[in-house]
Amino acid sequence: MRKTNRPAAALLALAAALTGCAGTGPGAPEDRAAPEDCVTDYAEGRDYFPDKATVEESELWDIAYHGSWKTITLTDTEDAAGGDLTYVLYQCGTPRPEAAGELADALFVQVPVTSVSVTSFNALAMVDRLGEADTVTGLSGQLLGNAERDAWYAGVVEEAGGPMSIGEYTDLDREAVLGLGTEVILMSGFGAGFDDVSNARAAGLPGVSVSNRMEGDALASAEWIKMVGAFYNAEGAANAEFDAIRSEFDEVVATVSGAVADREAGYLCVSPERGCEFVHAHGERTLAGRLLARLGADNVFAPGNEGPNGRPYDYEEAVGTAADADFFVVYDPMELTLDALDADPRFDRFRPLAEGAFVAGADANFEECRAKTYLDVDVLVRDFAIGMAPELFPGERGTCFTRPS
């Protein structure tokens, strides 16, 4: 049972979290109390961020630098009215900017952060790729559970040194978050109708929205590694990682250019165990839908499918819509996909499913790929390309999406 009375130490930890003081809560390692790169000779007007991020692809966030502090402004994807969220990141050892005017409602965080909780699997992939997994002191129960069945998650948890459970993103354990001296909680920012980040902030917790899955373009999604990197003063590393992703991504697109122009494809879910009553497919406004278009394929589920997360189709509508399809990407694990196809003969009406002309999630590393594919979009686009045009990638198999054996 969750306790209702917080100890004094937890209240002190809350103050530390909300002002950005590093690692002062119980459970935080001693070496996190005073980061080595804290400023000891502050001088007004000096630039304390020699490495800077520039937003090139994203439509949902931006960053500005102000000497000893920086501001990140991003679209509040939980707000149907399109409001903004502001985070003020100020260098350890320098004055905290005044919470006034446009900054009155901002979340103030002292950087570089050293005690981080994570409930977003996309954000965890970014933290890991930046080499900052050792700062993770708290994880949602779902992410910790994944460590019991996935080698990548297990490695991240080991690198983190045994992070504590902080509940789930829809029901955070406030006492656990406070007790860890958490400076930020990296959370998934989904669309209108979700309120995970809003509820965390309303409860006085330092929730940060990582909304990369709401981007329409794959490279824009990957660029969120720069946003996460800014909390670590790791803009240089984040820039390098993004440039590497973009280079590989562009190479695949150039290789496939024109080769799949006559392919009718779709991105869909079929497994009832994962919430698909029959078919749930992505249209042209989703990241996967735009990825198909980027490769030059026609998305059979694009007409009338404007939702940012796609929409469900019943049997008759799905069969009619996908009548000309010759290739599918199924985003269920392969085992569940094959189970669904065996259990429901209606799927034989879809030519790609009947003929095995599809790729589905690789069972062996499904959870790892679920965390990484919206960051490692170079891997994602290569998997799509190998599935549609295997002749262009002789001897290669997909990493996260593979054809049935």
| Domain limits for position 53 | 8-245
128 domain residue, yes or no: yes
**CB contact at 8 A, 315 and 288:** no
Strands 136-139 and 279-281 turn out to be: unpaired
The four Cα atoms 280, 281, 283, 285 give a dihedral, to 10 degrees, of 70
Q: Strand, coil or helix: what is 239?
A: helix
Same domain for 312 and 274: yes
Bridge partners (DSSP) listed for residue 311? 281
CA atoms within 13 A on the CB side of 5: 2
1 domain residue, yes or no: no
Question: What local confidence, expressed as pLDDT, does residue 1 receive?
Answer: 27
Helix then strand then coil, in percent of the chain rounded to 5, is 40, 20, 40
Give the start-end residues of each E strand in 92-201: 107-111, 116-118, 136-139, 164-165, 167-168, 171-172, 184-188
Tens of pLDDT, residues 342-389? 999 999 999 999 999 999 999 999 999 999 999 999 999 999 999 999
Signed CA dihedral, 62, 180, 241, 284: sign only: negative
How many angstroms separate the CA atoms of 56 and 222, rounded?
11
Q: Which of 243, 248, 244, 252 is nearest to 56 (CA)?
A: 243
Q: Where are the alpha helices (DSSP H) in 279-343?
A: 287-295, 315-321, 334-343
Same domain for 339 and 209: no
**CB contact at 8 A, 338 and 344:** no
Q: Find the distance separating the first CA and the last CA of the chain, reported in whole Å.
A: 47
Tens of pLDDT, residues 277-332? 999 999 998 999 999 999 999 999 999 999 888 999 999 999 999 999 999 999 99
Q: In the predicted model, what is the mean pLDDT of the chain?
A: 90
Same domain for 55 and 185: yes
CATH number (domain holding residue 309)? 3.40.50.1980
Same domain for 273 and 208: no
Same domain for 394 and 307: yes
Same domain for 180 and 37: yes
* Residue 164 exposed, middle or buried by CB count within 10 Å (0-12, 13-18, 19+): middle
Same domain for 238 and 262: no
The four Cα atoms 41, 47, 49, 54 give a dihedral, to 10 degrees, of 170
Same domain for 358 and 287: yes
Tens of pLDDT, residues 64-73? 999 999 999 9
Question: What local confidence, expressed as pLDDT, does residue 10 receive?
Answer: 35
* Stretch 121-139: mean pLDDT: 97
- Rg of the chain taking only CA atoms, in angstroms: 22
393 domain residue, yes or no: yes
Q: Strand, coil or helix: what is 180?
A: coil
How many angstroms separate the CA atoms of 159 and 116, rounded?
13
**CB contact at 8 A, 256 and 389:** yes
Predicted confidence (pLDDT) at residue 103 exceeds the cutoff of 50: yes
Structure token pair of residue 249: 């991504």
How many angstroms separate the CA atoms of 261 and 54, rounded?
33
Q: Kindly report the length of the chain.
A: 405
3 domain residue, yes or no: no
Strands 84-91 and 69-75 turn out to be: antiparallel
Same domain for 164 and 269: no
Q: Which helix (H) or strand (E) holds 64?
A: strand 61-65
Q: Which helix (H) or strand (E) holds 332?
A: strand 327-333
Residue with tokens 């290739």: 327
Widest pairwise Cα distance in the chain:
72
**CB contact at 8 A, 404 and 356:** yes
Same domain for 97 and 26: yes
Domain end, chosen from 199, 223, 245, is at 245
Confidence class of residue 33 from pLDDT cuts 50, 70 and 90? Answer: very low
Question: Structurally, how many domains does the chain consist of?
Answer: 2
* Stretch 213-217: mean pLDDT: 89
CA angle, 33 then 34 then 40, to 5°: 155
Same domain for 284 and 162: no
**Of residues 170 and 148, more confidently modeled:** 148
Lowest mean pLDDT among 8-17, 105-114, 342-351: 8-17
Same domain for 275 and 386: yes
